[in-house]
Homo-oligomer: A and B are copies of this chain.
Amino acid sequence: MMIIMKTDATKEEVANVIKRIEFYGLGAHLSEGSERTVIGAIGDGRPVQQELFLHMPGVDRVLPISRPYKLASREFKPENTIIPINGIRSGSDQVLIIAGPCSVENRSQMMETAYAVKEAGAHALRGGAFKPRTSPYSFQGLGEEGLKILAEARDATGLPVVTEVMAPEQVALVVKYADVLQIGARNMQNFPLLHAVGESQKPALLKRGMMATVEELLMAAEYILSHGNRQVLLCERGIRTFETSTRNTTDINAIPVLKSQTHLPVILDPSHSTGKWDYVASIARAGIAAGADGLIVEVHCNPGEALSDGGQSLKPEKFADLVCQVRAIAEAIGRTVNVEGCL
């Protein structure tokens, strides 16, 4: 870290900061500018609370130099992490497409949708059994019953299952049924949950919080990685801004930023990031064009009657169109989407 002194800091104040840096086992490096003195702390400053220096007289600001995450960084691991899901090597040139309803509502809805998304080209199946809903009066999901239906859909279609886990004590249960554990946006900083998922052996799909920076997303991934689970897929799903014409603002910039800063695969969720079904295909194409490694898309056979997120769900035929559009985009930039049947 760098400690920027005030323009009128005294020599004694500078000396005290140096002493404090050395107290933490770090080296101090003085740089006297024309207006102010800057003191660099040499060594691994991650365990030190940098803001403590703000209490020392003469200190103006403290700037971090090292990134706060390590295992998640491309500097630590330059080559892409590849996570195989149903034969797709996510993180390679192969684009991964996950689709399904927001919630598992009942057996017939789930089976029908599973067959439909498989037919349209999806490589994995999504569906929520435990639902984080902002209103206590909304449908809260089927719980374990939903997980059983998902497993049945997997057995019938061969599509692996991506489903959300909402609390640390649910991990053991969800692991029995799911192929990929999803951590929802509202839980991105639920640290006990990240810890528990980090100790499981299943790949994790970590959604960015709507209020989280790219750096915080990578810190959340670091929690999972540091507890032993190295299979983390990151998911951009839109951030909250002042704009209200869409539910969220897709942070498309985050795709190239993440691809440059981390080795983990990056997935885009165009359904949540727009919140309106008629913008989903456009943003799905944009995500792949920007360099995303995959998509997770909400599909419902009858969106007008969905128990959750109906407004952003695609009908299967619209989803089939999207898959073919995305394949054309992927091929235009030298990647592949493993799907048959597009013209």
Contacts and interface: CB of A to CB of B under 8 A. Distances in A.
Interface of A: 2, 4, 6-8, 20, 29, 31-36, 38, 40, 42-44, 46-47, 49, 51-56, 63, 65-66, 68-69, 75, 132-138, 140, 166-169, 186-187, 189-193, 209-211, 213-216, 219-220, 222-223, 226-227, 239-246, 249-257, 260-261, 273-274, 276-279, 282-283, 285-291, 303-312, 325, 328-329, 331-333
Given A192-B167, A282-B256, A8 B245 contact: no
A13 to B, nearest CB: 13
Given A35-B44, A52-B311, A333-B285, A243 B256 contact: no
A213 B245 contact: yes
A211 B289 CA distance: 26
Contacts of A303: 52, 55
A299 to B, nearest CB: 13
Nearest to A209: B211
A7 B261 CA distance: 12
Given A134-B220, A136-B227, A169-B169, 11 more contacts: A35-B66, A46-B135, A69-B135, A136-B223, A187-B190, A241-B241, A243-B251, A245-B253, A249-B251, A252-B252, A331-B332
B134 A189 contact: yes
Contacts of A252: 250, 252, 283, 286
A308 B49 contact: yes
B276 A54 contact: yes
Contacts of A47: 137-138
A66 B276 CA distance: 20
A44 B255 CA distance: 36
A28 to B, nearest CB: 10
Majority secondary structure, A binding face: mixed
Nearest to A251: B249
15 contacts: A2-B38, A8-B75, A33-B66, A49-B138, A49-B306, A49-B310, A166-B192, A169-B169, A186-B189, A186-B190, A239-B243, A240-B242, A245-B261, A256-B283, A285-B290
Nearest to A243: B213
B246 A253 contact: yes
B240 A257 contact: no
Contacts of A187: 190
A272 to B, nearest CB: 12
A49 B306 CA distance: 8
Nearest to A140: B191
Contacts of A210: 211
Contacts of A332: 325, 328-329, 331-332
A260 B34 CA distance: 22
A269 to B, nearest CB: 13
Contacts of A135: 46, 68-69, 219, 222
A307 B49 CA distance: 7
